[in-house]
Amino acid sequence: MKITICAIKADVGSIGGHIKPSEKLLKTVEDYVKTNGKGLLIDHIVSFTGDDIAILCTHQQGVLNEKVHKLAWDAFRAGTEVAKAQGLYGAGQDLLKDAFSGNVKGLGPAVAEIEINERPNEPFLFFAADKTDPGAYNLPLYLGFSDPMHNSGLMLSPSMDKGFKYTIMDVSYTEVDRVVELNAPEELYDIAALLRDTEQFVVESIHSRNTGEQAAAVSTTRLHNIAGKYTGKDDPIMLVRVQGAFPATGEILSPFNIGQYVAGFMRGSHNGPLMPVKRNSCISFFDGPPVVSCSAFCVREGKLTEPADAFDHPYWDHVRDRISEKATELRRQGFFGPAMLPYSELEYGGIVEKLKKIDKKFIARGK
Ligand code: F6R
Ligand code: MG
Ligand code: MG
């Protein structure tokens, strides 16, 4: 059976700053999708990570489907009304345009979707991150799909012996999608050369070279590229199919124990370690640290199981403790050096204006 797994997420308001959405807001989005998705969606589940609400759904309409995207857009609009009525912070924050046009790409919400020929058993992972941008997934996807240090199946399983194809997007372009396809393992060094630059190059999708099937889809939205100014971090979502011709769940989760430093954190202007957290977790310290949740599912004829919380295990408590120390250590140097993002990423009005003003005061000394 052919089905589409579709995840669309937006920040449309939260309690106490940018911490988490209210129960009422979540329920409004959930109820809207439930009522208005009848006959369109096969199944759906609504969750949150930090201040972002994600609608994960299944249907048979293919990717970028107007009706499905409009349903999510309207659900977030309905949520925005509740957020306004409750006085939530940043009500409607990610709905950057007034009118819906075709699909939610370029309108603010982030989307990750895959159309699949459902396998007899179809396990997949849904990742949602807050206080960071889509480049946050570059390293885990590089390691999880191409490094035998994390993915032992690359050595042990004949169903992955041809490796994977990465489609990488240059997100500095907003007019059109500018992408390149590179094959691992042959072009691994080229892939690494791009993926190290998380602000410009982002993995958009990954395909199995053994079967041709799509394994992963990442939301590539960069909000400041759409709005022309800082409107919040992009807080990316990702779908990853696992097992069989794809990496095992544990091989995909493995690199998340690194807690690599990613862009985001306070005011979207700092670096912080990416912390794997439980489903429906809020953020806290210095508006962070950047967090990522992972819900594991199986799907049969489009019907989802309940989620299994992949980071809800004692192992990850130990990882979280270590990552907290990494966060504290980098925060000790405040705004200095690598603790804060470079000028080009400081979209937050104030400092850019400040630097422009100071720039005029510079004098060039003659020889
Ligand atoms: C980062 C984030 C927060 C806010 C910060 C200031 O993505 O959402 O760190 O940037 O709380 O928020 P505003 O500018 O809304 O007062
Ligand atoms: Mg926010
Ligand atoms: Mg957010």
Ligand 1 atom 6: residue of nearest CA: 267
pLDDT of amino acid 234: 87
Q: What is the pLDDT along the chain (367 residues), one digit of tens a residue?
A: 999 999 999 999 999 999 999 999 999 999 999 999 999 999 999 999 999 999 999 999 999 999 999 999 999 999 999 999 999 999 999 998 888 888 898 889 999 999 999 999 999 999 999 999 999 999 999 999 999 999 999 999 999 999 999 999 998 887 788 999 999 999 999 999 999 999 999 999 999 999 999 999 999 987 766 666 666 678 999 999 999 999 999 999 999 999 999 999 999 999 999 999 999 999 999 999 999 999 999 999 999 999 999 999 999 999 999 999 999 999 999 999 999 998 877 767 678 788 889 999 999 998 7
Catalytic residues, by residue number, are 11, 230, 233
Cα four-point dihedral sign 84, 295, 287, 313: positive
Ligand 1 atom 15: residue of nearest CA: 90
25 contacts 79 by C-beta, under 8 angstroms: yes
Ligand 1 atom 14: residue of nearest CA: 267
Q: Is the CB of 19 under 6 A from ligand 1?
A: no
Query: What's the rounded Cα separation, in Å, for the pair 239 and 295?
Result: 10
Distances (CA, A) of 363 to 49, 343, 356, 366: 48, 21, 14, 9
pLDDT of amino acid 230: 61
Which residues are 42's β-sheet partners?
none
């500095």: which residue's tokens?
A: 172
- Distance (angstroms) between ligand 1 centre and the Cα of 267 equals 5
pLDDT of amino acid 96: 87
Domains and CATH numbers, the chain: 1-117 (3.30.70), 119-367 (no CATH)
Number of other residues whose CB lies within 10 A of the CB of residue 159: 13
Q: Which residue, 347, 329, 50, is CA-closest to 199? A: 347
Q: Which two tokens stand for residue 264?
A: 């985001």
- Distance (angstroms) between ligand 2 centre and the Cα of 221 equals 15
Q: Which residues surround ligand 2, an ion (CB under 5 A)?
A: 11, 18, 51, 232
Which residues are 169's β-sheet partners?
179, 202
Q: Which of 287, 331, 341, 348 to mutate to test the pocket of ligand 1 (most atoms within 8 A of CB)?
A: 287
Residue 259 DSSP symbol: -
Ligand 1 atom 2: residue of nearest CA: 267
- Position in ligand 1 atom list of the atom nearest CA 266: 9
pTM over 0.75? The answer is yes
Query: What's the rounded Cα separation, in Å, for the pair 263 and 359?
Result: 26
- Distance (angstroms) between ligand 2 centre and the Cα of 166 equals 30
pLDDT of amino acid 107: 87
pLDDT of amino acid 343: 81
Q: What are the CB-based long-range contacts (under 8 Å, 24+) for 75-80? A: 75/28, 75/29, 75/32, 75/33, 75/36, 76/10, 76/12, 76/29, 76/109, 78/28, 78/29, 78/32, 79/12, 79/13, 79/21, 79/25, 79/28, 79/29, 79/32, 79/53, 80/12, 80/13
Distances (CA, A) of 353 to 291, 347, 359: 30, 10, 10
Which helix (H) or strand (E) segment is 59 a member of? strand 52-59
Q: Is the CB of 270 under 6 A from ligand 1?
A: no
Q: Is the CB of 233 under 6 A from ligand 1?
A: yes
Rg (CA), the chain: 20
